[in-house]
Structure 1
């Protein structure tokens, strides 16, 4: 049917470190959906497609959530790929709208992530975690990414100060974002003297779990009632290196060239960037994989472009300051870039026409196995 899909609304269920009594995963997901539909000027009866990503929705599934939301849909998807779920759901939703399988698709991702839920997740993330890592005991992925960060430092010449410049810059963005959980200004000294978690990682290198959810509405362009965002290209890849690589090259590298080509723009055209930031080393890796900086040039690039905020990277504060709402992290960057391209980012607004969003995640055994790249344009 050759309909053009656009991103026409966004919604966030506010992030919190301490969810109140009665908070449920279904509740925060429903809240984000409602906010996104209100933003798009649409009603639940307009929705004929739903995609869901969540670690803690069970025993319910996507169809249960649709029923609880009062939705009758003809297109339904449940994505289980964490940090890459946003790109995967967006790619499928665009195809559904273009094919005429649905005209209004809501993508929603998030979790109730209190202490117990977080512990359960890191102990039983997958079979490799439960059978090989948890018995060590290995309390989550910090140790894995500490080793990866050390490898990156040895390969690129990066120092802790270089990572610190990135983290401090993201916190500066977060001070302008009322939705960020951590908004207190941070200095490089604060970063460097924070308690060690797993050398060389300190407290501010590790993403903080929060409760919350994100949602976006993808629809045929004629359904847009406000300022829409054009979806120029979306590309995803799964298990690109069979867990045999060094982890410093992510699946984003396998998506980037094709995404830029289909979008008809290049890395030099990006005005705002959101990359998945569970650890600073992964921000660095994805920026390189996008073609924004060469490996040998990373220290200069971080110092001159990222730390100075000349290149707007993770303008929400990223997950490192805004918080990681479980699977909601897969949509976090997409929501932020969409708001920037709509000119609705408040005090942190930048001048942007082209935005790029990456997804990264699902640590199968050694590092993330999934990657995605989405190139967006202000309409």
Structure 2
């Protein structure tokens, strides 16, 4: 690992992280969840609201992020609302870190909140996951190419090309649920087996229900600050060591290879800029809307060779006490998935690096110390975008 400021003149640290109420939240608006998460992240950091001069959010409000900032009582001088699906929050974190390093802001708050589950339950919106009634994607819609179907096709290609099995994909769901079992904030905690996954109702071949993420409510917040503010923090800083972003396609016919995601590019950038190798990473928080997403992201980030993801995940490596703990909170498959989950990845990575995940689910190195290095990698659309961030205690 190399030292030094990865972005410019100032190093950047995570000062505070927090979740709002998550899971089943029937009596709150998305704005309320934004506010709750923001207040908790500020309390976690030990800083006052007046310290915030940068703000980023996406997915809510007519003029996001201005409307959300107004709701929170903020008047930032630096804002961002870049929206690239599930990778949005890693991309926003990268933008915020670059702005802080360059001196354009001193403290940037990233906030997300959604009542997706409650809205569907109350009939406020449908769960139709078809995209593209207009524009280039309109040519795929008549063939039933929903978001789930696009991932299913990609998974089938990996199975055909590399011999990946349904049992191996199911292992991702089983191990993720085992991690969730120790997390009191996870929505689903009861153990599941490979047979449970394989025997469930088919959603989009080859995915059964347990291959797919859950639907929940929830929000979270992350506060990034310049190194100048570290002495004011309530807890030791977690440093942003490097990041990377990449995009691939929207139309399936424009995707060069169904077995390769843009994380292959964003991961390489992030690791190079952080000066670390994949084999130095102690834990990984990866977007897991579907089991195949976890498998192919592990390959593309360099934790195993292309085509070896099935064998890699089938040995218990992803468990909290495995060789590479992955989605230690239970991920989108079991813990929380209110829409765009990317910010939750950063919250969990920071909690683990701080050593504050709790006695039953804290990842520890051989010497008993908390992890030293973590990677968070978000995926947007149907492998359309990727953002990867490397975080460290040192």
Q: TM-score, normalised to structure 2's length?
A: 0.88
The answer for the alignment partner of 2:292 in structure 1 is: 281
Quickly say closer, same or farther: Cα 1:278–1:70, change in 2 above 3 A. same
Q: Check the 8 A contact 1:124/1:130 in 2, yes or no.
A: yes
Structure with the higher strand share, 1 or 2 = 1
The answer for the alignment partner of 1:236 in structure 2 is: 245
One of 310, 318, 332 as aligned partner of 2:344: 332
Q: Check the 8 A contact 1:53/1:110 in 2, yes or no.
A: no
The answer for the alignment partner of 1:109 in structure 2 is: 112
Q: Distance in 1 between matches of 2:115 and 2:134?
A: 22
One of 209, 213, 222 as aligned partner of 1:216: 222
- 1:341 and 2:353 are equivalent in the alignment: yes
Q: Distance in 1 between matches of 2:387 and 2:350?
A: 16
The answer for the alignment partner of 1:315 in structure 2 is: 328
One of 296, 299, 315 as aligned partner of 2:310: 299
Quickly say closer, same or farther: Cα 1:180–1:287, change in 2 above 3 A. same
The answer for the alignment partner of 1:40 in structure 2 is: 45
- 1:64 and 2:70 are equivalent in the alignment: no
- 1:357 and 2:372 are equivalent in the alignment: no
State the secondary structure of the residue aligned to 1:82.
coil
Q: Distance in 2 between matches of 1:100 and 1:321?
A: 39
Q: Distance in 2 between matches of 1:74 and 1:201?
A: 45
The answer for the alignment partner of 1:90 in structure 2 is: 93
The answer for the alignment partner of 2:258 in structure 1 is: 247
Quickly say closer, same or farther: Cα 1:298–1:136, change in 2 above 3 A. closer
The answer for the alignment partner of 1:80 in structure 2 is: 83
Structure with the higher helix share, 1 or 2 = 1
Superposed displacement of residue 129, structure 1:
8.9
State the secondary structure of the residue aligned to 1:217.
strand
CA deviation vs aligned residue, 1:203-243 (integer Å, no higher than 9, x gap): 10111221111210000123231111111101101236973
Q: Distance in 1 between matches of 2:332 and 2:271?
A: 25
How many residues are matched?
369
CA deviation vs aligned residue, 1:122-155 (integer Å, no higher than 9, x gap): 34577459844555555x4122212111111111
Q: Distance in 2 between matches of 1:172 and 1:63?
A: 40
Q: Check the 8 A contact 1:123/1:130 in 2, yes or no.
A: no
Residues 162-181 of structure 1 aligned to structure 2 (within 5 Å): 162-181=168-187
CA deviation vs aligned residue, 1:317-376 (integer Å, no higher than 9, x gap): 11010121112x0211111111111111112111210101111112xxxx3211111111
State the secondary structure of the residue aligned to 1:15.
coil
Q: Check the 8 A contact 2:317/2:325 in 1, yes or no.
A: yes
Superposed displacement of residue 49, structure 1:
0.5
Q: Distance in 2 between matches of 1:318 and 1:129?
A: 32
CA deviation vs aligned residue, 1:38-63 (integer Å, no higher than 9, x gap): 11111221111000022xx2335211
Q: TM-score, normalised to structure 1's length?
A: 0.91
CA deviation vs aligned residue, 1:65-106 (integer Å, no higher than 9, x gap): 111111121101112212111111111111111111111110
Runs of at least 5 residues in structure 1 that lack an aligned partner in the other structure: none
Q: Distance in 2 between matches of 1:246 and 1:119?
A: 31
Q: Distance in 2 between matches of 1:241 and 1:68?
A: 33
- Superposed CA RMSD in Å reads 2.1
- 1:4 and 2:11 are equivalent in the alignment: yes
